[in-house]
């Protein structure tokens, strides 16, 4: 993407109006949540102004309008990830809820003592604590895949740990701390070979916003992601599941909108996706998804990934020259659009506060990946993450201000 194209893209993002010469705002926390283009905000505005009604419930005009918006969003998501049918798309609040749904409705029902859940040490807590709970309840065992100095999972690790005992592989497609993008397609193919009945869950929270995703090509059983990390609204999460898997699962929550017939003593339930969508759904949030998807597709996810890689390469090259900085994230491509680092002897929260005083928003903390941090012998880190609305000048400004952190913290300048 040319800088002229990025300039055009930036015009679509109202939050950038907050950035002035006197008080800049450089948002480098898109891995936490992305900012929204006006098209997305307008879609939600349109929904609440002219299309709001109880979905799936009424025969009146606005109820039908809401149903159309909601089911239209499902169609857009289906096409976005290459699912077979709209029935395979379940709306959730976010990736976390999708993973919990799987833990409760698949994990607790299907795993037992002697079974193994294979996951990587770089999983987000959403794809880790959930399986810990399932392991505790069922007696299944957690088996971790560890990483090498390139922040990759070595082939040997995969071939040693994925075995006939593996009943679930729960793996990220892009790490929110390291930027590592495990080859989940090859891992799943290997899983199929050694344990044909096992299921594969892919956490796409950091992948779907930044690269083309094809769930059929991955051959995963389940795939989760969050709309709010891909320009859409908070509350617009997605769980994809192969239809047979979904229909074999019990409902998640019980109540209205998910039943077929209700008798005094028992009920029958809708097939997927309805059986997992109890209660009035967040149509307003869903209304943002098709617009966000169109926005990403119009730019092209390949181009987005390439552009974000360019920003990361640039930051990585500059920061790896700086004394007193340790970079934790992956040293080589392919990698996600982020860089994670620490200053020697400076707490990440201090780094983030100093940068904030310069108008730069980064994330500091454990990024919901405590086991990963512990495996490096640390507790916290700083993370700068990029999106298509960031410019190379912003990355420069960020790098320049890392020197300011050094100065203020008495580390001296280069």
Residues forming contacts to ligand PMP in the complex (CB under 6 A) are 94-96, 124, 126-127, 172, 176, 203, 205-206, 226, 368
Q: Residue 17 is encoded by which pair of tokens? A: 């109006």
Structure token digits, residue 374: 């512990």
How far apart CA 115 and CA 109 sit, in angstroms, is: 13
State which residue, 76 or 95, has the beta carbon closest to ligand PMP: 95
Please answer whether residues 296 and 209 qualify as being in contact, where contact means their C-beta atoms are separated by less than 8 angstroms. Answer: yes
Concerning whether 105 is annotated as a catalytic residue, the answer is: no
Q: Which is nearer to ligand PMP, 95 or 346 (CB)?
A: 95
203 or 277: CB nearest ligand PMP: 203
Residue 16 or residue 368: which is nearer to ligand PMP going by CB? 368
Question: Shortest approach of ligand PMP to residue 368 CB, angstroms?
Answer: 6
Quick one: 120 or 401, whose CB is closer to ligand PMP?
A: 120
User: Tokens 């990698």 correspond to what residue?
Assistant: 335
Kind of pairing between the strands at 116-120 and 166-172: parallel
- Name the burial class of residue 160, with classes exposed (0-12), middle (13-18) and buried (19+) by CB atoms within 10 angstroms of its CB: exposed
CA gap 130, 104 in Å, rounded:
9
Helices (H), 162-259: 184-194, 215-218, 243-247
Closest CB 239 distance from ligand PMP, rounded Å: 11
Buried b (16+ CB within 10 A) or exposed e, 228-255: bbbbbbbbbbbbbbbeebbeebebbeee
Three-state SS at 143: strand
Q: How far is the CB of 253 from ligand PMP (least distance, A)?
A: 17
By residue count, the chain amounts to: 414
Instruction: Single out the catalytic residue among 105, 220, 368, 382.
Output: 368
Nearer to ligand PMP, 29 or 51 (CB): 29
The least CB distance from residue 7 to ligand PMP, in Å, is 28
Q: How far apart are CA 87 and CA 271, in angstroms?
A: 8
Q: 247, 210 in Cβ contact below 8 A?
A: no
DSSP result, 194-212: H-TT-EEEEE-TTTTTTS-
Q: How far is the CB of 30 from ligand PMP (least distance, A)?
A: 11
Closest to ligand PMP by CB, 203 or 221: 203
For helices 38-46 and 288-299, give the axis angle rounded to 10 degrees. Answer: 150
Here the tokens at position 386 are 């990029």
CB of 222 to ligand PMP, least distance (A): 13
Q: What is the largest CA-CA distance in the chain?
A: 75
The Cα 349–Cα 381 span in angstroms is 9
Q: Minimum Å distance from CB 17 to ligand PMP?
A: 26
Active site residues: 368
């Amino acid at each position: 993407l040319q800088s002229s194209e990025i300039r055009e893209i930036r015009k679509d993002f109202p939050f950038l109006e907050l950035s002035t010469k006197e008080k800049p705002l450089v948002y480098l926390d898109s891995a936490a949540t992305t900012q929204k283009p006006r098209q997305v905000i307008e879609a939600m505005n349109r929904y609440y102004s002219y299309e709001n009604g109880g979905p799936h419930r009424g025969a009146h005009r606005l109820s039908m309008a809401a149903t159309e918006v909601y089911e239209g969003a499902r169609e857009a998501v289906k096409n976005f990830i290459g699912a077979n049918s709209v029935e395979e798309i379940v709306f959730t609040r976010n990736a976390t809820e999708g993973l919990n749904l799987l833990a409760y409705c698949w994990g607790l029902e299907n795993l037992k003592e002697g079974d193994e859940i294979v996951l990587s040490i770089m999983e987000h807590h959403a794809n880790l604590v959930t399986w810990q709970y399932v392991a505790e309840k069922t007696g299944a065992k957690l088996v971790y895949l560890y990483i090498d100095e390139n922040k990759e999972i070595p082939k040997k690790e995969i071939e040693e740990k994925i075995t006939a005992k593996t009943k679930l592989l729960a793996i990220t497609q892009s790490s929110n701390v390291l930027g590592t993008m495990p080859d989940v397609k090859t891992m799943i193919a290997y899983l199929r070979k050694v344990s044909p009945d096992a299921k594969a869950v892919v956490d796409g929270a950091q992948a779907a916003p930044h690269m083309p995703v094809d769930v059929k090509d991955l051959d995963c059983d389940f795939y989760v992601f969050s709309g709010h990390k891909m320009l859409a609204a908070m509350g617009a999460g997605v769980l994809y599941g192969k239809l047979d898997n979904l229909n074999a699962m019990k409902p998640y929550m019980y109540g209205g909108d998910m039943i077929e017939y209700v008798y005094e003593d028992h009920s029958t339930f809708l097939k997927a996706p309805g059986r997992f969508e109890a209660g009035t759904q967040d149509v307003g949030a869903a209304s943002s998804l098709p617009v966000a998807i169109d926005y990403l597709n119009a730019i092209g996810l390949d181009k987005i990934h390439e552009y974000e890689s360019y920003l990361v390469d640039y930051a990585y090259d500059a920061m790896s020259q700086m004394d007193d900085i340790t970079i934790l994230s992956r040293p080589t491509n392919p990698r996600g659009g982020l860089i994670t680092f620490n200053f020697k002897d400076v707490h990440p929260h201090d780094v983030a506060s100093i940068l904030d005083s310069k108008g730069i928003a980064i994330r500091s903390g454990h990024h919901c990946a405590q086991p990963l941090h512990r495996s490096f012998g640390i507790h916290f880190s700083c993370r700068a993450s990029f999106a298509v609305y960031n410019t190379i000048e912003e990355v420069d400004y960020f790098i320049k201000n890392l020197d300011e952190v050094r100065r203020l913290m008495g580390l001296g300048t280069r």
